[in-house]
Amino acid sequence: MEKIIELKKVYKTYNIGEIKTNALDAIDLNIYDGEILVIVGPSGSGKTTLLNAISGLDDVTSGTIKYGILDFTKLNDRVKTKFRKNNIGFIFQTYNLLNHLNVYENVKVGSLLSKDKTDINDILKTVKLEKHKHKEIYQLSGGEQQRVSIARALAKNPKIMFCDEPTGALDEKTGKIVLQSLVNINEKYKTTIIIITHNPGIALIGDRIIKMNSGCIVETIKNDFRIKPKDIPWG
């Protein structure tokens, strides 16, 4: 697979008085086109900080993050925002849906952010929401709402999807349905998907697993056989 993101010696340092803490400590990482990369670790391990650094939501203290030949660490906020708009989708633990719009209209909001749109009806079918397209948000379960947020992020046809604890607020059955939607997106649209989670079972759906602790990558595992979401251990 083609390398699309490269991190070299990335640090994120916080100063509290005279004490320096490295939330990210000399991170070296390559991310490849079309893969599912799962980053796991306990609370405080640095996984969310890493996601925010890669996506440009947070600046790093030192090191480089490159998208192809583009050095993301040297861009100003305006250029970073434009790059995210055109290339990146986000899925968070909170759904951030617009309650005055129905399912189809919420997904359409995502499509307005890009010239290279994906067909909304096709997306809704991919995440198994085609029968709910005209429902109001309050009529949906938590898992269905999360799938709407996934569809909305996908509607602008991003090259990369960042997922921050996408099943954190869901029970096992619903969480596995949401994960299957992400796998469907990866397989159908070849979208690169980066998931962070504290749940080690979720890592088994990925092509690679990054384990973090104390701001460091402590292990990288290549997963030769991705397990279907319905078959992963939970918790």
Angle formed by the axes of helices 103-111 and 142-154, nearest 10°: 30
Task: Tell me the two tokens of residue 101.
Answer: 């719009």
Contact residues for 143 (Cβ-Cβ < 8 A; gap 6+): 170, 174, 175, 177, 178
How far, rounded to the nearest angstrom, does the alpha carbon of residue 111 sit from its chain's CA centroid? 18
Q: Supply the pLDDT for residue 66.
A: 95
| pLDDT for position 129 | 92
Give the model's pLDDT for residue 5.
Answer: 96
**Distance, CA of 182 to CA of 32 (rounded, Å):** 17
Mapped onto helix, strand or coil, the DSSP state of residue 87 is: helix
CATH of 33-59+88-231, one of 3.30.360.10, 3.40.50.1100, 3.40.50.300, 3.40.50.2300: 3.40.50.300
Residue 202 has what pLDDT? 95
- Nearest Cα residue to 50 out of 60, 37, 63, 42: 60
Q: How distant, in Å, are the alpha carbons of 46, 107, 135, 167, 171 from that of 141? A: 31, 17, 11, 13, 11
Exposure string for 197-207, b = 16+ CB within 10 A, e = fewer:
bebbbbbbbbb
Q: What CA–CA distance (Å, rounded) separates 124 from 161?
A: 17
Residue 228: the pLDDT is 95
* Averaged pLDDT in 10-residue chunks for the chain of 235 residues: 94 89 95 97 93 93 94 91 90 89 92 77 90 95 92 90 91 92 93 95 96 96 94 89
Whole-Å CA distances, 70 to 5, 50, 57, 75, 152: 9, 18, 16, 9, 26
pLDDT reported for residue 92: 86
